[in-house]
Amino acid sequence: MPSSSEATADSLSTATRANGTFCPQTQRKFVLVAAILASALGFIDGSILAIAMPALRVDLGASLAEAQWISNAYALTLSALILAGGAAGDRFGLRRAFVTGIALFIAASLACALAPNPAVLIAFRAIQGIGAAIMVPGSLAIIAKAYPKKERGRAIGIWAAASAMTTALGPVLGGFVLSTFGNGVWRAIFAVNLPLGLVSIYLLLAKIPADQPTEKRSLDLGGAALATLAFGALAYGLTGINAEGGGIMAGPAIVAGVVLLFIFILYERWQREPMIDLSLFRIGAFAGANLATFFLYFALSANLFYLPMVLIAGWGLSTAEVGFIFLPLSALIALLSGPVGQWSDKIGPRLPIAAGSLIVAIAFAGMALLAHAGVHNFWTGTFPLMAVMGLGMALVVSPLSTAIMTSVEDKDTGAASGINNAVSRVGGLIAVAAMGSLAAFVYARSTGSPAGMPGFGEPPASGLAANLDALRIAASDSAFAAVAAVTTLLCLLSSILAWFTVPGQALPWPRQTGDSPD
């Protein structure tokens, strides 16, 4: 006969399953805390790294191309594998997959913290991205599976608010630490992932019951491998165009990437359970919203990666000061996404997305003009424009998710959301590669590459002649102005695409606070 404790556990399990969740009510808070901590790993790591890049380059002697790959190695594996990572949770159970992703992420983070040179750091950043591809979709999915539908919206709201807070405060604290302790402390950015990850793993294994796999989905590892090779070749080719990379293999790499991308599309069409359901792109609203996403997040990623580099290495601002650059973006998204989502429900997502993209374009145009004019006012120039950009993104984020979800059938909303997430990350991957080459080209052309001149985004060595330093600063401004100008045009294109492809009518359901449509 079963013991009384076993009977109680069975009764609790039955009641829990009947409520549409694998997790008892008393243990759900641990799911939420674990998911917030795991999300903080990715958010803090990504935002602080942009602030720390000049210090990292000095400490490791990394070139601009190596700096691009320190970012892109992670973005490549994350964007190519994130859909397979989401399927892993369905196939093996969310808790098991989530723990595996976190463990791989923190192990790679520790290796990044100990990396002796750029090549080793790039290799472990790629492994870190594999862990993130499992961890990132798992953080939200495990909340959705642990909480019953009537409580899910509030839990996700808490998760989103906490994630926004870590994204906002991470660079501020990281910039202060870098300014206080010097260039070598960049390693602590990766090392801090270890205690956060271990606490999250402990909560998941010790405080939360295991969930059962929902379906035996194929992971489509072949598609994931082809996507990695295709986007990797494209990023390698686009990075290699810059003045530092020589450009010998750039053309063949880009051609190889395009061919592999075509093979990937054919492969996905032949698969019974493809990683990406390409038939969704036959829906005009879905295809248009994703193309708008690609252009917008391309522009956002390029500016957020290269602007801190110019401010620190070009203008000579402290990392403590530049650490505040992400604050208005994160704060405005956190504060306005809820009200903007409700507004979007009433009037349709077209106007908020188009208007938001246009406002982001205005912000980037302002940055291009300031850089071109050589105006180096951070608090009265760059920072207010970052707030304008944050306002634009706050208008876009929630309505864009709505537009993606409502453009497809209910059964395809999970796949549609995953594809849109991957598209935004691929946009960032290509942006860092392509805009780095543009910046390096403009910088080299502006300086003439005299002896002793540091590369774009590289802090100058002490003793650099005053005339060379003035030339370096002016060339850095010109290089970033070119990046900002191109991304301005892409944001305008995103706005136009949204206006002509995204539905303008109100949604067919009355949204309840914290609820999502069935």
What sign has the CA pseudo-torsion 189, 195, 197, 199?
negative
Residue 503 lies in a domain: yes
pLDDT digits (tens, 9 = 90+) for 508-518: 444 443 343 33
Of 149, 174, 206, the C-alpha closest to 34 is: 206
Residue type, 292: A
pLDDT for 285 equals 92
Average pLDDT, integer, range 283-291:
94
Residue 61 lies in a domain: yes
4 occurs within a structural domain: no
Same domain, 165 and 242: no
Residue 176 Cα distances to 54, 164, 457, angstroms: 14, 19, 20
Question: To the nearest whole number, what is the mean pLDDT of the chain?
Answer: 86
Does residue 450 sit in the same domain as residue 431? yes
Residue 292: C-alpha distances to residues 108, 174, 350, 489 (Å): 33, 32, 11, 12
Question: What CA–CA distance (Å, rounded) separates 268 from 83?
Answer: 13
Bigger pLDDT: 435 vs 398: 435
383 in a structural domain: yes
Say yes or no to pLDDT of 345 above 50: yes
User: Could you report the per-residue pLDDT of 102-135, keeping only the tens digit for each?
Assistant: 999 999 999 999 999 999 999 999 999 999 999 9
pLDDT at 245: 47
258 and 119, same domain (yes or no): no
Q: Which domain holds residue 254?
A: 221-272
Token reading at 265: 């599309």
264 and 291 in a single domain? The answer is no
Residues 210 and 346 in one domain: no
Q: Is the residue at 15 inside a domain?
A: no
Tokens of 388: 């304008």
Percent of the chain with pLDDT over 70: 91
| Contact residues for 61 (Cβ-Cβ < 8 A; gap 6+) | 117, 118
Mean pLDDT score, 488-492: 98
Q: What is the CATH number of the domain that holds 129?
A: 1.20.1250.20
Which of 256, 272, 288 lies at the terminal end of a domain, its last residue?
A: 272
What pLDDT, in 10s, does the model give residues 453-476?
898 988 888 778 888 999 999 999
Q: Are residues 383 and 446 in the same domain?
A: yes
Evaluate whether residue 518 is within a structural domain: no
Number of domains in the chain: 3
107 domain-assigned: yes
- Sign of the torsion formed by the C-alpha atoms of 295, 301, 303 and 306: negative
435 and 461 together in one domain: yes
- Alpha-carbon distance of 328 to 27, in angstroms, equals 34
Where is the domain boundary, 240, 272, 304? 272
Has residue 243 got a pLDDT over 50?
no
Both 331 and 308 in one domain: the answer is yes
CA distances from 336 to 161, 186, 384 (A): 11, 32, 17
**More confident: 27 or 358:** 358
Residue 61 and residue 204 share a domain? yes
Distance CA(208)–CA(26), nearest Å, equals 10
62 lies in the same domain as 109: yes
Residue 146 tokens, joined:
């642990």
Q: Is 0.75 surpassed by the pTM of this model?
A: yes
Q: Do both 231 and 144 map to the same domain?
A: no
Which run of H or E residues covers position 455?
A: none
d(CA 150, CA 518): 12
Residues 263 and 289 in one domain: no
What are 35-90's pLDDT values in tens digits?
Answer: 988 888 877 667 788 899 998 999 999 999 999 999 999 999 999 998 888 888 87
In this prediction, residue 215 carries a pLDDT of: 66
**200 is a domain residue:** yes
pLDDT given at position 20: 59
Q: Residue 232 CB: number of other CB atoms within 10 A?
A: 21
Q: Which H, E and C letters describe 301-352, residue by residue?
A: HHHHHHHHHHHHHHCCCCHHHHHHHHHHHHHHHHHHHHHHHHHHHHHCCHHH
